[in-house]
């Protein structure tokens, strides 16, 4: 079996690149699929694993906006959401899903698309369960084809 070539985030562009990806993305919560698509975008940025943006139509459960927001120098202002666990009524997770409702011109394709931190749910790329980007600040998804030593977010990498 041929191994996939490694993706080196050190060589990803700055400013970031936003493009359609053919990869199959799924988000599962307690084994239940809550999002599923082959119509996503990924954003590739220097020293980051890909951050995936799924179309709102891929989401299988309702989401509700929270008052949280953040600002990205490349994409603009993000808004955040909360989701209720479909298996445990009353268990709500806040601010682990975000979107850009008025992104900058270079990111207009991801307007209203949803990005998920990898957790508390399980996220998958082409059937492979991902790990979260180190540090819990960035939302990249780590797969086996990412060169880990080139990824920032963990201790000692903030100055790259």
Structure confidence by residue, pLDDT tens digits, 113-145: 999 999 999 999 999 999 999 887 789 999 999
**Within 13 Å, how many C-alpha atoms sit on residue 139's CB side?**
20
In this prediction, residue 96 carries a pLDDT of 97
What is the percent of the chain with per-residue pLDDT over 90, rounded to a whole number? 81
Please check whether the domain covering 9-150 is classified as CATH 2.170.150.40.
yes
Tell the burial category of 36 from Cβ atoms under 10 Å away from its Cβ (0-12, 13-18, 19+).
middle
Domain ranges of the chain: 9-150
Q: Is the pLDDT of residue 156 over 80?
A: no
Q: What is the pTM of this model?
A: 0.93
Cβ neighbours of residue 148 closer than 8 Å, sequence gap 6 or more: 142
């Amino acid at each position: 079996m041929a191994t996939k070539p490694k993706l080196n985030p050190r060589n990803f562009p700055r400013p970031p690149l936003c493009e359609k990806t053919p990869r199959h993305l799924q988000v599962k919560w307690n084994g239940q699929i809550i999002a599923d698509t082959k119509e996503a975008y990924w954003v590739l940025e220097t020293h980051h694993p890909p951050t995936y943006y799924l179309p709102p139509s891929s989401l299988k459960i309702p989401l509700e906006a929270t008052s949280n927001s953040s600002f990205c120098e490349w994409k603009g202002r993000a808004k955040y959401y909360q989701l209720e666990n479909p298996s445990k009524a009353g268990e709500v997770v806040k601010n682990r899903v975000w979107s850009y409702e008025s992104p900058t011109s270079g990111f207009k394709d991801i307007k209203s698309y949803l990005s998920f931190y990898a957790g508390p749910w399980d996220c998958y790329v082409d059937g492979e369960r991902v790990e979260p980007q180190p540090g819990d600040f960035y939302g990249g998804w780590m797969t086996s084809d990412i060169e880990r030593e080139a990824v920032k977010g963990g201790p000692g990498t903030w100055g790259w």
